[in-house]
Amino acid sequence: MDSFFSSDPSVYNKSISPWAFYPSSLLLTQFLLVASLCLLAWKMMVQQKKHQRHHHSWSLEQPQNLIKSSFISSVKSRVGRSSEKRPGKVEGDLDFKLSSYAKLGARFTQGGYVDAGSPTSGSNRSWKSMEMEIQSLLEKLLDINDSMSRCAASVVPTTSVTQKLARHRDILHEFTQEFRRIKGNMNSMREHAELLSSVRDDISEYKASGSMSSGAQLLRERAAIHGSISHIDDVIGQAQATRAVLGSQRTLFGDVQGKVKLLSDKFPVIRGVIGSIRRKRSRDTLILSAVIAACTLFLIIYWLSKNTSDWSNPVHKMHPKDVFS
């Protein structure tokens, strides 16, 4: 006891530590608290860095998004303007030209082609020029529709733009079909008029030839006969030339056959090998045929024997009452 309560202060400094009065659980709690605070501070720093990085990337992507949205809006407006203004004007011109073309065809039907036999030069020129104008307008409208389709394909198409493009395509198809129908009618009328004009020319020529003298008619008949004879001579010459060509081909084939025969005579070994191959092939064919015939005959005999055995020994089906009787 005296040694424990000594008056020397160095004794207390050496024997008693300042941490001796703190229990071990309190030290562990303080250590965990400090570690959790450090971990929380580290997480806050990481989140702050992520937020700064995200803000930086958003600031970089924002001008690109603005440029992209402005491009899309400009393309959409361009598609809308082209689909509303340019095709509408061309479609109106086409409608007017087609109606004029149909009226011209009706006028030709009533008096131009049928009555006069052929249209006048002015009407013919107007008809051709109108056809060319309609063709050019159709091609122009087709180009406009293609350009609108390309513009719409470069962006995400909306429902209104798709409906407008489909409507313009349908209008172009209707105009094309109408033009083809009217043009076909005009061509048929022209062919009919040309046929009528040729018949009328033949009739007028026949009437004019009736007033000619007999000598002129004989001269005309003689010229026709000479023309027929010259045509027959040409046909005979072509036939003779064909005959000569066929004769030369026949001679060529005869020479080839003779050469082949000469080769077979010169090489009897090859001929013997070919003959042996043919004999072996025919023998194999005969053997295979015999095997197939034997198998078929065996199957038929087996089937007949089985059927006859079934018929000679019929199965008697007994009733359950017969078993107990």
CB 192 within 8 A of CB 113: yes
Residue 260: the pLDDT is: 76
Residue 175 lies in a domain: yes
Residue 319 lies in a domain: no
Q: Return the DSSP state at 5.
A: T
* Residue 30 domain boundaries: 22-67
Question: Would you state the pLDDT for residue 104?
Answer: 79
Q: Are 83 and 161 in contact (CB under 8 A)?
A: yes
Instruction: Please tell me whether residues 129 and 46 are part of one structural domain.
Output: no
Mean pLDDT by 10 residues, the chain (325 residues): 45 47 61 77 79 57 48 51 61 85 74 47 70 88 85 76 84 88 83 78 69 70 87 90 91 85 74 81 91 92 82 53 46
pLDDT for the residue 223: 87
- Contact residues for 185 (Cβ-Cβ < 8 A; gap 6+): 105
Cα 59 to the center of its chain, rounded Å: 46
Report the SS3 class of residue 88.
Answer: helix
Asked if residue 281 is part of any domain, the answer here is: yes
- How much is the pTM? 0.38
Query: What's the structural domain count of the chain?
Result: 3
Do 53 and 90 lie in one domain? The reply is: no
The domain boundary, picked from 140, 168, 199, lies at 199
Residue at a domain's end among 199, 222, 256: 199
Residue 223 lies in a domain: no
The answer on 183 and 143 residing in a single domain is yes
One domain, residues 89 and 146: yes
The Cβ of residue 207 has, within 10 Å, a number of other Cβ atoms equal to 9
Q: What was the pLDDT predicted at 95? A: 85
Tokens at residue 265, please? 């005579």
180 within domain boundaries: yes
Residue 277 lies in a domain: yes
The reported pLDDT for the residue numbered 79 is 47
Say how far apart CA 4 and CA 10 lie, in whole Å: 12
pLDDT value at position 169?
A: 86
75 and 154 Cβ atoms separated by less than 8 Å: yes
